[in-house]
A and B are shown apart, each in its own frame.
Chain A
Amino acid sequence: MTSRGTPSRFLQSVLRNGLGRYVCQLKRLTLVFSKEARSSHGAREFIEENIVDFAKQNPSIVMYVAPQKCSHPKLIAEYLNGAVKEEQINRKTGEEIVQLVQKLANQSGLDIIRIRKLYHTDSPSIQGQWHPFINKPTSLNVKDRKS
């Protein structure tokens, strides 16, 4: 499907993020994995080695670790604007999961669809928007009355 067939949106940020202060948009990260299955090996490696460092570097993200009986481990990311993203980490290595988690932390919860314009301004014109009568003599506006 091309750009016309898929949804699109304009460039925006969540609640004017960079203006006053930058706020990390990821609020909660839940790691669902199994204690014994082979597919959760990378998830277990991530928990043993990397999760505490990641949590210390990003104190605004709450991390939950949920060992359950599941064949496919997953990461559930919840964002400040209410968006929920599930990522499969089935048979991934610990390093791949580290990169994935960093990517999720860098995103805001806005949809990943085609963005129509690569810029957004609230004040598009400062010196005044051009119109064809700028810098033309005002005598053009004068009409003689034939009387």
Chain B
Amino acid sequence: TLFRSPVKLPDAREEAIHHAEVVQRINNLIANGQFGRLFAVIHFASRQWKVTNEDLILSHADIDAKCGDKIRLEKVLLVGGDDFTLIGKPLLDRDHVRVEATVIEKTESCPKIHMRFWKRHRYQRKRIIVHPQTLLRINTIDRKST
């Protein structure tokens, strides 16, 4: 390690007061809406994605929604902005965050070749695999739900 001198731990009471002040300040920030762009960690299609506004996500799954439908992604594990982060244990409350997305495209993937070949045994099998794909655009991440 680069830093070798002994670590000084702060006093427990002072630390508790300081923590309460920080939490109060952050609650005020959030209540006044003084935050900029938020990011969120979302559990969707058996994967976790770190997501902001206006970005794209591709999942190898078929969703029931049609193209153009708006979806609310409910399993949010973490929300963060420039000054604060809210970490869920393991998920955050539905009333605190709202992540909205639009289904843009529902295609098929490019054809993937699954081939087995054993040399000198006259054995080969070829199979072409095509998955369904769904493209989502994350529209907004709101701190309060309506």
Cα A137 to Cα B31 with chains together (Å): 33
* Contact flag A107-B105 (CB < 8 Å), given A18-B137, A24-B68, A119-B58: yes
* Contact flag A123-B37 (CB < 8 Å), given A22-B104, A103-B108, A112-B110: yes
Q: Is the CB of A113 within 8 A of B137?
A: no
Q: How many residues of A contact B (CB 8 A)?
A: 33
**What distance in Å separates the Cβ of A118 from its nearest Cβ neighbour in chain B?**
4
Q: What is the number of contacts between chain A and chain B, taking CB atoms within 8 Å?
A: 94
Interface of A with B (CB < 8 Å)? 1-2, 6, 11-13, 16-19, 22, 24-25, 103, 105-108, 112-115, 118-123, 126-127, 136-137, 140
* Contact flag A108-B104 (CB < 8 Å), given A12-B56, A19-B139, A119-B55: yes
Q: What mask results when residues 29 to 70 of chain B are scored 1 for a CB within 8 Å of chain A, else 0? A: 000000011110000000001001011111100000011100
Cα A145 to Cα B67 with chains together (Å): 66
Of A108, A112, A126, the residue contacting B39 (CB under 8 A) is A126
**What distance in Å separates the Cβ of B139 from its nearest Cβ neighbour in chain A?**
7
Q: Is the CB of A121 within 8 A of B81?
A: no
**What distance in Å separates the Cβ of B22 from its nearest Cβ neighbour in chain A?**
16
Contact of B109 with A by CB under 8 A:
yes
Q: Is the CB of A13 within 8 A of B135?
A: yes
**What distance in Å separates the Cβ of A32 from its nearest Cβ neighbour in chain B?**
23
Cα A114 to Cα B36 with chains together (Å): 35
Which 7 residue pairs of A and B lie closest in terms of their CB atoms, listed nearest first? A18-B137, A22-B68, A18-B102, A121-B55, A106-B106, A120-B56, A118-B58
Q: Is the CB of A19 within 8 A of B52?
A: no
Q: Is the CB of A13 within 8 A of B105?
A: yes
Q: Is the CB of A18 within 8 A of B55?
A: no
